[in-house]
Chain A
């Protein structure tokens, strides 16, 4: 499989702040990749670099094998939908759509109609007057109808309620099936997209903490609940990610178990639960939680290296 996006040893510094720190990652063509991380982890910076909006301080970035920066031909194949998208003054919904139709060669005008209807988005409404949710949906419409070989959504759900977000996931999945392409999606709502994405990349303080197939991650940890003695016996020899106990009831999160161990747990009367992607991220990133001052100091040492 060819890769759509590759980062090789990419760093981005803003003054003394290191937004991306020697990031290496590959997104295969025609897959959906979830880019996760806490606020300030570097998700947006990474997306801005790969869509050619800013340059990396060091390292190599390739999109479909080419450097995206000031690469006009390449950028018609890349659609970047960002939550903070700005539109020219006086632009109405139809202006945005017309501009997008000129920009993207695969633009599907018929599909736009059905997407607008989904949300009751009025064509003649000035973009400025749209509600937060409607503006987000306008971004979704552009992102989907552009059918760009690389579509990048940077937290596209702001202001969208649960129903509208589900609608977005459904439309994305259906259109992805009909028109396979590479989709990169950054989000905080990890569990909502965990079944949708094939690859999960977790950024933390500008570094890649996890880069794995979603299916592998799902098996990575299991929470065992039951009587403390049984849990203790069962989890001995496993890597324990987290334990808590109340009275004689214990709950321990351990790294992946095999089929046979699952059965063994059931025979012991223990309860097994999968650890949601969201919890796994919390467990993985919370440990690295550092105050802002410490992060700044860290960035300085790296720069002087």
Chain B
């Protein structure tokens, strides 16, 4: 899994956690697991870390970690094998991909355009820039 490094955990600026924008920790735990499924560092039908392992790694209350895991179970991303642990469900990757695609424009294109307007870039210029990046 692509976790934050343990050493990077207390990375806080002025008492604020750097990676967090006010969303609950359990949501972030769920998203991290989703990301690791998405980038194929965890395959479908493979086991994911237990609640207690996640709690120890992220230094969070186990109940918080459990909440993140349970959300993924409710979403059909993970399923429980009794007495063994939590596993990635078949088709989980496609489901995550679909959901994240829906949010892509809002999360990435909107802020890109806001900054581009400030800098005086038109849509054509941005398209050109993207094309050029594709070639590189």
Q: Which A residues lie at the B interface, using CB under 8 A?
A: 31-32, 166, 169-170, 173-174, 176-177, 191, 195-198, 214-215, 218-219, 221-222, 257, 262-263, 266-269, 272-276, 278-279
Contacts and interface: CB of A to CB of B under 8 A. Distances in A.
B24 A215 contact: yes
- By Cβ-Cβ distance, the 9 closest A-B pairs, closest first, are A274-B22, A267-B110, A269-B114, A276-B15, A195-B60, A222-B22, A177-B52, A215-B24, A272-B21
B101 to A, nearest CB: 15
Among A173, A174, A176, A272: residue with most chain B CB under 10 A: A173
A29 to B, nearest CB: 12
Interface string B22-44: 11111000000000000000000
Contacts of B17: 274, 276
B96 interface: no
Contacts of A267: 106, 110-111, 114
A177 B62 contact: yes
Nearest to A257: B22
Q: Provide the main secondary structure of the chain B interface.
A: helix
A166 B6 CA distance: 12
Contacts of B114: 266-269
B9 to A, nearest CB: 9
A32 B55 CA distance: 13
Contacts of A268: 114
A161 to B, nearest CB: 14
Contacts, number: 87
B97 interface: no
B63 interface: yes
Interface in B74-105: none
Interface of B: 10, 12, 15-17, 20-26, 52, 55-56, 58-64, 67, 106-107, 110-111, 114-115, 118
A218 B22 contact: yes
Given A215-B26, A257-B22, A196 B61 contact: yes
Contact of A274 (B16, B26, B62, B67): B16
23 contacts: A31-B63, A169-B59, A173-B55, A174-B56, A176-B62, A177-B55, A191-B12, A196-B60, A198-B61, A198-B64, A214-B61, A215-B24, A215-B67, A218-B22, A262-B21, A262-B22, A266-B111, A269-B114, A274-B20, A274-B23, A276-B12, A276-B16, A276-B17
B16 A273 contact: yes
Contacts of B63: 31, 198
A195 B10 CA distance: 11
A125 to B, nearest CB: 31
B105 to A, nearest CB: 10
Contacts of B59: 169-170, 173, 195-196
B111 to A, nearest CB: 5
Q: Count chain A CB atoms within 10 A of each CB in B12, B15, B25 and give the residue with the most.
A: B15
